[in-house]
Amino acid sequence: MDNQLNQNLNTADLNGIHEYSELLSDILKFRARGEVPMALVRTYGCQQNVADSEKLKGMLKEMGCDFTEDENEADIIIFNTCAIREHAEDRVFGNVGALKNIKRRHPSLIIALCGCMMEQEHIAERIYKSFSFVSLVFGTHEIHNFPKLLYSTITENHRIVARGNDDGIIHENIPTLRDGTFKGWLSIMYGCNNFCTYCIVPYVRGRERSREPEVIMQEARDMIAAGYKDITLLGQNVNSYGKTLESKKTFASLLADIAELDGDFRLRFMTSHPKDLSNELIDVIASHDKICNHIHLPFQSGSDRILKLMNRHYDRKRYMEIVNYAKEKIPNLSLTSDIIVGFPGETYEDFQQTLSLIKEVEYTSLFTFIFSPRVGTPAAKMDDPIPYEEKSKWFSELLKVQEEIAAKRCESMVSKTYRVLVESAKPNGELTSRTEENIIVEFEGSEDLIGTFQNVEVTKARNWILKGKLV
């Protein structure tokens, strides 16, 4: 890479955000095609990226931008990318390629790429070389530098790649523009130290670091005061929250503190790594009404041999101990999980262990993935003799088993009444809502109910969507 590529822009000072945003507000207005500069921020990947995009939007708003979903209307386009699987990366490459013609028609358009993909050197390099119409590439550690980077690329008229600067500092007070008005994300920590052998996240998100409890509490209070009714605490492994703090506060006690705040809201969290889940946490969930009776508890594989190869640090027995304790303590507990099918060296017998675990636990829903090798991870170098077509067959077998389990669970909810948060209206006039268990219930009602809690009796189960009526 040439010198321009790896710029080490050293601006930990947060005033930089506001100063550069102010300078940019005139520049962007001048360059805009319409009255107001229009920005398009497209987010790929998980909630962590959604939360980062909310910061990008907060800063863009400070620069005077309005927002659009139409690429042809935008003066600035940002793709916030995900590196978790090859498919996710391919989508980004395809969608960036398609911007070439738009840039040709509107030469003043600024195209920026950021997020997890950009933290991989080989990807940043490929983007820089293949897409000369991309002005700015920056990684997950450079979000707070976005205004400065944007300012440099425009005023100095050169292309910038800024990545890999993992200083371990948490940059607080970045302006944020949340997507929702009653459902919101609250990051409690960043990064990951677990190095599961298949996973790229620790390489692109850096080392685990927790936000100070006071800062989180203040943000939670602000969200509740602003009318947020469904708050999800975010981290790659929330159960290890606090390990980097002097106070050594645990996740269980942070969760309890937030749940004890005044206001009518419900609290969720993700993701829970089974290796760090404590009984204390389960007791906290059980004893606080505001904490949803839902735990997303990825087990990845039901085979102990594969769990070891994955470096997950628990076995099936330990996982089932947690599940059984949680089921005993938390009434109507809803469990969801992530699963990888076709990890290198996984046999059909190993896969059968995953199926048997699914049947034993009876998950509400599953996020299932076929293993995708990621450059730089240990699993990408492991022997992987099973062809993709075979893995796809296993994958379909798993989906079928889960479909029956989910249908059975939905069936068991018929005739019961649930407190739901109304989320949106469908084109056919029905409302969509969600139970504490994270299950969708649709019912007839007026649009004014959006963003409120209602009691709904489930009348019918259709696959895994429930129909209901207002009580």
List contacts with ligand F3S (CB under 6 A).
45-46, 48-49, 82-84, 116, 200-201, 204-205
Compute how many residues bind ligand SAH; rule: CB under 6 A: 17
Q: Which does 202 bind (CB under 5 to 8 A by kind): ligand SAH, ligand F3S, ligand SF4, none?
A: ligand SF4
Instruction: Report the run of H or E that residue 78 belongs to, with start and end.
Output: strand 76-81
Please identify, using beta-carbon distances, which residue of 110 and 192 lies nearer to ligand SF4: 192
Please identify, using beta-carbon distances, which residue of 97 and 376 lies nearer to ligand SAH: 376
Is residue 457 helix, strand or coil?
strand
Give CA–CA dist 387/11, Å, rounded.
Answer: 48
- Cα angle vertex 251, ends 249, 252, to 5°? 105
Minimum CB–partner distance for residue 370 and ligand F3S (Å): 15
- Cα angle vertex 295, ends 291, 296, to 5°? 135
466 lies in the site for ligand SF4, by CB under 6 A: no
Question: Could you say which of 152, 194, 353, 354 contacts ligand SF4 (CB under 6 A)?
Answer: 194
Question: Could you say which of 55, 57, 273, 374 contacts ligand SF4 (CB under 6 A)?
Answer: 273
CA distances from 171 to 10, 14, 175, 189 (A): 13, 8, 11, 12
Give CA–CA dist 281/273, Å, rounded.
Answer: 12
- Cα angle vertex 206, ends 303, 242, to 5°? 80
Q: Which does 369 bind (CB under 5 to 8 A by kind): ligand SF4, ligand F3S, ligand SAH, none?
A: ligand SAH
315 lies in the site for ligand SAH, by CB under 6 A: no
348 lies in the site for ligand SF4, by CB under 6 A: no
Nearest CA to 196 out of 433, 354, 368, 371 is that of 371
Please identify, using beta-carbon distances, which residue of 23 and 46 lies nearer to ligand SAH: 46
CA distances from 73 to 94, 95, 113, 183, 214 (A): 20, 16, 18, 28, 41
Give CA–CA dist 394/51, Å, rounded.
Answer: 34
Q: Which does 116 bind (CB under 5 to 8 A by kind): ligand SF4, ligand F3S, ligand SAH, none?
A: ligand F3S
- List the strands of the sheet with 136-138, edge to edge: 66-67, 38-43, 76-81, 110-115, 136-138, 160-162
321 lies in the site for ligand SAH, by CB under 6 A: no
Nearest CA to 237 out of 274, 268, 212, 267 is that of 274
Q: Which does 85 bind (CB under 5 to 8 A by kind): ligand F3S, ligand SF4, ligand SAH, none?
A: ligand SAH
Minimum CB–partner distance for residue 309 and ligand SAH (Å): 13
Minimum CB–partner distance for residue 31 and ligand SAH (Å): 38
Give the footprint of ligand SAH on residues 196-255 (CB under 6 A).
198-199, 201, 236-237
Minimum CB–partner distance for residue 211 and ligand SAH (Å): 17
> Please, what is the end-to-end C-alpha distance for the chain in angstroms?
64
270 lies in the site for ligand SF4, by CB under 6 A: no
Find out whether 422 and 449 touch, Cβ atoms under 8 Å.
yes
Contacting residues toward ligand SAH, per CB under 6 A: 84-85, 198-199, 201, 236-237, 271, 273, 298, 300, 338, 340, 369, 371-372, 374
Contacting residues toward ligand SF4, per CB under 6 A: 192, 194-196, 199, 201-202, 236-237, 273
